[in-house]
């Protein structure tokens, strides 16, 4: 029987090679929610709203509707595939301050289910 690993609800520490994936805004103002945690604990850089930074990876979620998030999710999945030495712990991006639901965001990650180094939230 195989067990599917899921992202913990609260991430307070990371192991070497683990990356905290969080929802951001394009301006990289990491002032609240998971973005604040990413900045405070995992190396997210103020002013950088997309991509790898420290032990975190930003996916913009505050610039419009769900379809504006999709290209950034696709870019993230491609990046994760190129970096199998890293493990990406995806938080419930877009489901906090950005105001989206799990049902709106989780389908964007359908392709991530086949990528071993991407860990998704429970139910995604």
Which residues 6+ apart lie within 8 Å of 55 measured at CB?
14, 18, 19, 20, 42, 43
**Residue 40 lies inside a defined structural domain of this protein:** yes
**Residue 6 lies inside a defined structural domain of this protein:** no
Angle at 100 between CA 57 and CA 5, to 5 degrees: 50
**Residue 2 lies inside a defined structural domain of this protein:** no
pLDDT given for residue 4 in this prediction: 72
**Residue 1 lies inside a defined structural domain of this protein:** no
Region 91-104: mean pLDDT is 96
pLDDT given for residue 72 in this prediction: 98
Q: Which domain covers residue 33, as residue numbers?
A: 16-121
Backbone torsions φ then ψ of 89, nearest 5 degrees: -95, 105
Residue 1 has pLDDT above 70, yes or no: no
**Residue 32 lies inside a defined structural domain of this protein:** yes
**Residue 38 lies inside a defined structural domain of this protein:** yes
Name the token pair of 45.
């850089």
Residue 33 has pLDDT above 90, yes or no: yes
Q: How many angstroms separate the CA atoms of 114 and 31, rounded?
A: 32
**Residue 3 lies inside a defined structural domain of this protein:** no
Q: How many angstroms separate the CA atoms of 86 and 117, rounded?
A: 7
> In total, how many domains does the chain have?
1
What is the pTM for the complete model shown?
0.94
**Residue 58 lies inside a defined structural domain of this protein:** yes
> 107: domain CATH number?
3.40.220.10
């Amino acid at each position: 029987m195989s067990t599917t690993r899921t992202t913990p609800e609260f991430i307070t520490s990371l192991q070497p090679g683990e990356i905290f994936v969080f929802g951001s805004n394009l301006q990289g103002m990491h002032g609240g929610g998971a973005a604040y945690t990413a900045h405070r604990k995992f190396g997210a850089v103020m002013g950088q709203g997309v991509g790898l930074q420290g032990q975190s990876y930003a996916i913009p979620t505050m610039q419009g509707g769900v379809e504006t998030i999709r290209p950034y999710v696709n870019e993230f999945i491609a990046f994760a595939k190129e970096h199998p030495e890293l493990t990406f712990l995806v938080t419930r991006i877009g489901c906090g301050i950005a105001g989206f639901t799990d049902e709106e965001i989780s389908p964007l990650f359908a392709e991530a289910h086949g990528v071993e180094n991407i860990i998704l939230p429970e139910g995604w």
